[in-house]
């Protein structure tokens, strides 16, 4: 067999690639099954501008590293390409590269759509063909997957959500997961699933955040088509799919992107910019046009070929600043002497313009912990162009507050009111993610103070607070039924806990909260606008009571939310009203079905002409201990 001259690249493709503006490189690079001169085979293309030679090696040539040399393009692109006859789907291969200094290197294909199951490290010739049956979802997505609709996200690690009970060490396949995950998410009322990284990665304890195969669905769970099946099944049930995506760094594994052609090709050569000290990984060189094209093409690939409805972009703060996790004297600076990574900001702006310009009804969500301004503002207005940003400050303040013994909460009252002062500066998502239940931080239920009843009551009211605040929501798997152990990526969730009433009650609470959130327009129509929120009383520190209004487009949808964050039953408590009306309790975390004490307000609450909280009319009601209740105008 020989390597025949062939190319999928036009001159225009090359021009776009080297200028950083080619966003569908997956249609050109990698291994493509084609027919050439009436012969079936595979076209290979790889970027290795500093290599002396690039050969394809695999089972087909007994792993000979010199017999099938690709042809270097005569332009300045640095692309090696060629057609090898009679190589079909399933062929295992690598690139044998002679580096710029003559060093022999073996690399996997950066654009491979399938890889061997780790710890094996070769790429596999494959395709992304699939007969999709989710057109109904895609057609309505622009209307339902938008910022003025409910968005309750269930964050899932596929390897540990559930495992085979008869063989606990075996992770389930994408198809096996679909059988139980889809009906569970549907039953619990979540609107979206967020999958922790499912791109191919070698080191299992990295949870998928150290990627080597950016264009491949992890072979641990099956083929690309089986992942497509899982996504399709979620779509058929009107559940959106967000993928965790990691354009911030990659590992130094020998078969991966690091020193790909013997030089720092994908990463910065200056290790002050190119090495991440916390994660011992390598940072993409966003100043390089071809690298930006690679990354944006990867984002487009998952939205295009896998019908993903959004990307949650990991570790954005680490991309934006050279001094992230570095002492000032150890950090690089930009051309103006500042700490901002200007190449990264350009990349993120290009990314968001590209994906929002190409796909209707998708989201990009930044995990961004700094005070960088305008993360979710449009690019044309000077922002980065993300759809949403994780509200890390809200999450940290909230958990700090709830860890306090209730007797001391009056001294920390405004930890829960402070977030409203900046809640509408960005489009915020409120997250309780996997990061909060690992590394000694304890599970959500054991962050809560008190005896067993109080712990569960605290957690119920915490979730009610979360879902009645402005912003979209994200809850990590297991949090919904008060998993007691910290998350363990090596084992299934503790589903057996649901045989115990407190845990079953917690699950019922989250199911009911999701139903409330999705059915009450006041909780989502103004998620990112001050028009949707108003305090009735933010200052009752003595009793640790908080009262606020959530508003929709119509006055009849107005809700009053009342939180009592002490274990004291508050009887005949006066609440000022937004307007004169009869009110009905529509939700109460203290319901017995939730493992509460059953202290409800079952009668219609009549308005009293008694001034309270600066308002002309008020109602008198009972507030359960460590409870949250929601009132709506009675019909």
Q: How far apart are CA 533 and CA 560, in angstroms?
A: 10
Whole-angstrom Cα distance, residue 206 to residue 162? 18
Composition of the chain by helix, strand, coil, percent to 5? 30, 25, 45
The alpha carbon dihedral of 180, 181, 183, 189 has a sign of positive
Tell me how crowded residue 635 is: count the other CB atoms within 10 A of its CB: 7
How far is C-alpha 191 from the geometric centre of its chain's CA atoms? 14
User: For the chain, what is the largest distance between any 2 Cα atoms, rounded to a whole number of angstroms?
Assistant: 92
pLDDT tens-digit map of 289-310: 999 999 999 999 999 999 999 9
How far apart CA 283 and CA 321 sit, in angstroms, is 12
- Other C-beta atoms lying within 10 Å of the C-beta of residue 129: 11
Q: Which fold has domain 11-124?
A: Immunoglobulin-like (2.60.40)
pLDDT at residue 1 is higher than 70: no
CA angle 592, 431, 231 (to 5 degrees): 95
pLDDT digits (tens, 9 = 90+) for 204-254: 999 999 999 999 999 999 999 999 999 999 999 999 999 999 999 999 999
Check residue 346 and give its pLDDT: 97
100-139 pLDDT, tens digit per residue, is 899 999 999 999 999 999 999 999 999 999 999 999 999 9
Instruction: Reply yes or no: is the peptide bond before residue 119 cis, omega within 30 of 0.
Output: yes
Structure tokens at 245: 């995506």
Q: Which tokens in the block code for residue 337?
A: 């002497």
Residue-level pLDDT at 327:
86
- Answer whether residue 2 shows pLDDT above 90: no
- Start-to-end Cα distance in the chain: 79
Q: How far apart are CA 201 and CA 296, in angstroms?
A: 19
Query: What is this structure's pTM?
Result: 0.97
Q: Which residues contact 41 (CB under 8 A, 6 or more apart)?
A: 33, 34, 35, 83, 84, 85, 86, 87, 88
Mean pLDDT of the residues in the chain: 96
Residue 412: CB atoms within 10 A of its CB come to 16
Instruction: Find tokens 């929709």 and name the residue.
Output: 552
Model pLDDT for residues 396-408, shown as the tens digit of each residue: 999 999 999 999 9
Topology alike, domains 11-124 and 531-633: yes
Residue 290's contacts (CB-CB under 8 Å, 6 or more residues apart) are 17, 18, 20, 47, 78
- pLDDT, mean of residues 82-109: 96
Tokens of 443: 């599970």
Catalytic site residues?
A: 314, 367
Domain 158-240+305-334+351-523: assigned CATH number: 3.20.20.80
DSSP 40: E
Residue 480 clears pLDDT 80, i.e. is over it: yes
* Residue 180 half-sphere exposure toward CB, CA atoms < 13 A: 11
| Average pLDDT, integer, range 552-575 | 97
pLDDT at site 168 = 83
Distance CA 434, CA 102 (A): 44
CA 209/CA 221 separation, integer angstroms: 16
Mean per-residue pLDDT, 412-430:
97
Confidence of residue 553 (pLDDT cuts 50, 70, 90): very high
- What the block records as the tokens of 235 is 């779509």
Residue 56 has pLDDT above 70, yes or no: yes
DSSP E strands, 48-179: 53-58, 71-72, 79-85, 92-98, 104-107, 123-124, 152-156
Domain ranges of the chain: 11-124, 158-240+305-334+351-523, 531-633
Determine phi and psi for 61, rounding to 5 degrees: -125, 25
Question: CA nearest 559: which of 510, 614, 522, 604?
Answer: 522
If you write DSSP's letter for every residue of 148-176 in order, what string do you get?
TS--EEEEE-TTTS-B-TTSTTSBPPHHH
| pLDDT mean over 546-554 | 97
Q: Rounded distance, CA 380 to CA 364, Å?
A: 17
Among the CATH numbers 1.20.58.60, 2.60.40.1180, 3.90.1150.10, 3.40.30.10, which is that of 531-633? Answer: 2.60.40.1180
Tell which residue, 14, 12, 19, has the closest CA to residue 77: 14
Question: Which pLDDT tens digit goes with each residue over 141-200?
Answer: 999 999 999 999 999 999 999 998 888 889 999 999 999 999 999 999 999 999 999 999
Mean pLDDT of the 411-427 span: 96
Burial 434-469 (b: 16+ CB within 10 A, else e): bbbbbeeebbbbbbbbeeeebbbbbbbbbbbbbbbb
Confidence of residue 325 (pLDDT cuts 50, 70, 90): confident
């Amino acid at each position: 067999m020989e390597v025949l001259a062939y190319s999928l690249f036009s001159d225009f493709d090359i021009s776009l690639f080297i200028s950083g503006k080619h966003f569908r490189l997956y249609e050109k690079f990698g291994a493509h099954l084609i027919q050439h001169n009436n012969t079936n085979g595979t076209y290979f293309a790889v970027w290795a501008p500093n290599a002396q030679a690039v050969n394809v090696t695999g089972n087909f040539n007994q792993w000979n590293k010199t017999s099938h040399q690709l042809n270097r393009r005569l332009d300045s692109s640095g692309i090696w390409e060629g057609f090898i006859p009679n190589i079909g789907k399933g062929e295992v291969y690598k690139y044998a590269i002679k580096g710029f200094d003559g060093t022999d290197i073996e690399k996997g294909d950066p654009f491979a759509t399938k890889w061997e199951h780790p710890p094996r490290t070769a790429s596999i010739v494959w395709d992304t063909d699939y007969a999709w049956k989710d057109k109904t979802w895609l057609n309505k997505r622009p209307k339902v997957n938008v910022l003025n609709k409910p968005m309750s996200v269930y964050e899932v690690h596929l390897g540990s959500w559930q495992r085979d009970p008869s063989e606990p060490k075996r992770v389930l396949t994408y198809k096996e997961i679909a059988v139980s995950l889809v009906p569970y998410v549907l039953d619990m009322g979540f609107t979206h699933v967020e999958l922790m990284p499912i791109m191919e990665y070698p080191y299992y304890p990295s949870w998928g955040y150290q990627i080597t195969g950016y264009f491949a669905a992890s072979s641990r769970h099956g083929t690309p088509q089986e992942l497509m099946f899982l996504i399709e099944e979620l779509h058929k049930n009107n559940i959106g799919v967000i993928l965790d995506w990691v354009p911030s760094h990659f590992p130094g594994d020998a078969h991966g992107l690091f020193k790909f052609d013997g030089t720092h090709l994908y990463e910065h050569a200056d290790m002050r910019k190119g090495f991440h000290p916390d994660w011992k990984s390598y940072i993409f060189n966003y100043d390089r046009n071809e690298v930006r094209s690679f990354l944006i093409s990867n984002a487009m690939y998952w939205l295009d070929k896998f019908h993903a409805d959004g990307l949650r972009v990991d570790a954005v703060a680490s991309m934006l600043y050279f001094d992230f996790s570095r002492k000032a004297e150890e950090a690089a600076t930009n051309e103006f002497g500042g700490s901002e990574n200007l190449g990264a900001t350009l990349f993120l702006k290009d990314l968001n313009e590209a994906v929002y310009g190409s796909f209707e009804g998708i989201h990009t969500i930044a995990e961004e912990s700094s005070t960088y301004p305008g993360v979710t503002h449009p690019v044309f207005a000077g922002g980065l162009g993300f759809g949403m940003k994780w509200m890390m400050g809200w999450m940290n303040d909230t958990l700090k507050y709830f860890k306090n013994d209730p007797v001391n909460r009056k001294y920390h009252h405004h930890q829960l009111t402070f977030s409203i002062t900046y809640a509408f500066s960005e489009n915020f998502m409120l997250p309780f993610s996997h990061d909060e239940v690992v590394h000694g931080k304890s599970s959500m239920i054991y962050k809560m103070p008190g005896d067993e009843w109080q712990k569960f009551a605290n957690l119920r009211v915490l979730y009610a607070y979360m879902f009645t605040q402005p912003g979209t929501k994200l809850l990590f798997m297991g949090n919904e039924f008060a998993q007691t152990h910290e998350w363990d990526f090596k084992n299934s969730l503790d589903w057996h806990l649901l045989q115990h009433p407190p845990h079953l009650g917690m699950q019922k609470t989250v199911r009911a909260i999701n139903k409330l959130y999705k059915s009450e327009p006041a909780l989502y129509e103004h998620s990112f606008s001050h028009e949707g929120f108003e305090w009735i009383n933010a200052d009752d520190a003595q009793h640790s009571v908080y009262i606020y209004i959530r508003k929709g487009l119509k006055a009849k949808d107005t809700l009053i939310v009342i939180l009592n964050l002490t274990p004291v039953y508050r009887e005949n408590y006066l609440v000022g009203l937004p307007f004169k009306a009869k009110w009905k309790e529509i939700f109460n975390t203290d319901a017995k079905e939730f493992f509460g004490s059953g202290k409800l307000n079952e009668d219609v609450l009549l308005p009293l002409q008694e001034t309270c909280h600066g308002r002309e009319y008020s109602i008198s009601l009972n507030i359960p201990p460590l409870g949250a209740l929601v009132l709506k105008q009675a019909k």
